[in-house]
Amino acid sequence: MPGVQHRFRNPDIREADFTDPTTGLRNGLADVALTRLPFDDIGISTRVLRSDPVGVVLRADDPLAGRDTLCLADLAGRPWFQLPEGTDPVWRAYWNGATPVGERPAGPVVRTVNECTQAVLWNGMVGIAPLTHALPDELTWAPLTDMPPSLLVVAWATEHESPLIRSFAHIAVNAYRSAQT
């Protein structure tokens, strides 16, 4: 519009660790986030971008690596990496295959996707992830038949909703829909 100056600041992009799946929405470090459900969503608004099947990440030389599908019971007794203390309990339960911590051998504590990949690669740990994640050649997937899909969402703190955030969410949803067709 003539006579109106729009001032936009450059967006800051940050990657959060696993303890906060809202990536700083609750404490004001972020205005909007691309993240995955489920997590404690009290005070957080979300719009689903896509639904991704979940699989177990294994070393390529793992005895289970050649299977077309697995279920969580196939992984009983195998160590999984652990999420840090203070991790959102809903998030922790989902990414631990809904198995309470302490009911399977504990692996190393990991805080990022890269640490998860390294724990599987170097330590032979078991972990789950959306089947859309890229893996190095030394790792492979087996889809899990008894895990609900992982929902990729755009999220924001409900109390900070603004026309700009609503517009971003709308554009993100439409962009993901367009990419799927």
Instruction: Quick: pLDDT tens for 85-132.
Output: 899 999 988 988 766 555 677 788 888 888 888 888 888 888 888 998
Q: What is the DSSP letter of 133?
A: S
Instruction: Return d(Cα 34, Cα 154) in angstroms, integer.
Output: 5
Instruction: Return d(Cα 49, Cα 54) in angstroms, integer.
Output: 16
- Cβ atoms of 40 and 88 closer than 8 Å: yes
Instruction: Return d(Cα 92, Cα 83) in angstroms, integer.
Output: 7
- Cβ atoms of 52 and 150 closer than 8 Å: yes
Q: Enumerate domains of the chain plus CATH numbers.
A: 33-50+150-180 (no CATH), 54-143 (3.40.190.10)
Count Cα neighbours of 11 within 13 Å in the Cβ-side half-sphere.
Answer: 9
Q: Which residues contact 92 (CB under 8 A, 6 or more apart)?
A: 83, 101
Residue 19 C-alpha from the chain's centroid: 11
Model confidence band, residue 135 (pLDDT cutoffs 50, 70, 90): confident
Q: Which amino acid is at 117?
A: T
Q: Which of 51-55, 60-64, 94-98, 103-107 has the lowest mean pLDDT?
A: 103-107
In this predicted structure, the answer to whether residue 181 has a pLDDT above a threshold of 80 is no
**What's the pLDDT at 53?**
94
Q: What percent of the chain has pLDDT over 90?
A: 41
Instruction: Return d(Cα 99, Cα 103) in angstroms, integer.
Output: 7
Average pLDDT for 63-92: 89
Q: What is the DSSP letter of 65?
A: T
Average pLDDT for 60-71: 91
Tally the residues of the chain: 181
